Structure 1
Amino acid sequence: MTKLRMGVIGAGLWGNNHAHTFNVLPETELVGVCDLDEARALKMKETSGALHAFTDYNALLSRDDIDAVSVATPDFTHTPIILAALKAGKHVLSEKPLATTVKEAETIAEAAAASKGKLMIDFHNRVNPILAGVRDMVQAGEIGLARHGMARLSNTTFVPFEMLSWASKSSALWFLGSHLVDILRFILDDEVVRVYAVTRAGTLSAGGVDTKDFHVSVLEFAKGTVVTMENSWILSRDNPSLVDFKVELVGEKGQVQADPTHNGGLRRVADGGLKYSDFIGVTPTGATRIGGFVLESIARFVDSVVRDVPLLADAQDGLANTKVLSAIEQSAATGKAVDIR
Structure 2
Amino acid sequence: MSKLRMGVIGAGLWGNNHAHTFNVLPETELVGVCDLDEGRALKMKENFGAAEAFTDYRKLIASDDIDAVSVATPDFTHTPIILAALKADKHVLSEKPLATTVKEAEDIAEAAAVSKGKLMIDFHNRVNPILAQVRDMIQDGQIGLAKHGTARLSNTTFVPFEMLSWAAKSSALWFLGSHLVDVLRFILADEVTRVYAVARSGTLSAGGVDTKDFHASILEFSKGTVVTMENSWILARDNPSLVDFKLEFVGEKGQIQADPTHSGGLRRIVDGGMKFNDYIGMTPTGATRIGGFVQESIARFVDSVVRDVPLLADANDGLANTRVLAAIEESVASGIPVTIG
The TM-score by the shorter chain falls in which range? over 0.9
Residue 255 of structure 2 aligns with which residue? Answer: 255
Unmatched tracts of structure 2, length 5 or more: none
1:232 match: 232
Correspondence for 1:98: 98
Q: Write the letter of the residue equivalent to 1:93.
A: L
Which aligned pairs between 1:272-283 and structure 2 lie closer than 5 A? 272-283=272-283
Measure the CA separation in 2 of the matches of 1:176 and 1:308: 30
Aligned to 1:53: 53
Q: Deviations over 1:201-231 (max 9, x none)?
A: 0000000000000000000000000000000
Equivalent-residue separation in structure 2 for 1:288 and 1:118 (angstroms): 25
In 1, the alpha carbon distance for the partners of 2:51 and 2:265 equals: 39
Distance across 2 between alignment mates of 1:221 and 1:117: 32
1:36-115 correspondence runs (5 A): 36-115=36-115
The percent identity for this pair of structures is 85
Aligned to 1:144: 144
Matches within 5 A, 1:234-313: 234-313=234-313
Cα distance in 2 for partners of 1:49, 1:292 equals: 22
Deviation string 1:55-89 (CA, Å, 9 cap, x unpaired) is 00011011111000000000000000000000111
The one-letter code matched in structure 1 to 2:12 is G
Q: Map Cα deviations across residues 303-335 of structure 1 (whole Å, 9 max, x no partner).
A: 000000000000000000000000000001110
2:61 equivalent to 1:27 = no
Please report how far the alpha carbon of residue 271 of structure 1 lies from its aligned counterpart in structure 2 after TM superposition: 2.7
Aligned residue for 2:283, secondary structure, equals coil
Give 1:301 deviation, angstroms: 0.1
State how far apart, in whole Å, the 2-side matches of 1:103 and 1:59 are: 26
Q: Take 1:337 and 1:16, find their aligned partners in 2: how far apart are those partners? A: 40
TM-score in terms of structure 2 length: 1.00
SS of corresponding position for 1:309: coil
Instruction: Give the aligned residue type for 2:207.
Output: G
* 1:85 partner letter: A
Report the residue type matching 1:307 in the other structure.
Answer: R
AA partner of residue 101 (structure 1): T
> Which structure 2 residues correspond to residues 175-214 of structure 1 after superposition, within 5 A?
175-214=175-214
Counterpart amino acid of 1:151? A
Q: Deviation at 1:284?
A: 1.1
Q: Deviations over 1:14-56 (max 9, x none)?
A: 0000000000000000000000000000000011111110000
Tell me how far apart the structure 1 counterparts of residues 114 and 221 of structure 2 sit (CA, whole Å).
Answer: 30
Partners of 1:271 and 1:161 lie apart in 2 by: 21
Which 5+ residue runs of structure 1 have no aligned equivalent?
A: none
Q: Secondary structure at the match of 2:262?
A: coil
**Alpha-carbon distance in 1 for matches of 2:253, 2:290:** 39
| More off after superposition, 45-54 vs 161-170 | 45-54
Classify the secondary structure of the residue corresponding to 2:336.
coil
Structure 1 match to 2:132 = 132
Instruction: Report the secondary structure of 2:33's partner residue.
Output: strand
Question: What SS does structure 2 have at the residue aligned with 1:278?
Answer: coil
- Structure 1 position 285, deviation (Å): 1.2
Q: Distance in 1 between matches of 2:50 and 2:340?
A: 43
For residues 135-169 of structure 1, the C-alpha deviation after alignment (integer angstroms, 9 at most, x for no partner) is 00000000100000000000000000000000000
2:132 is equivalent to residue 118 of structure 1? no
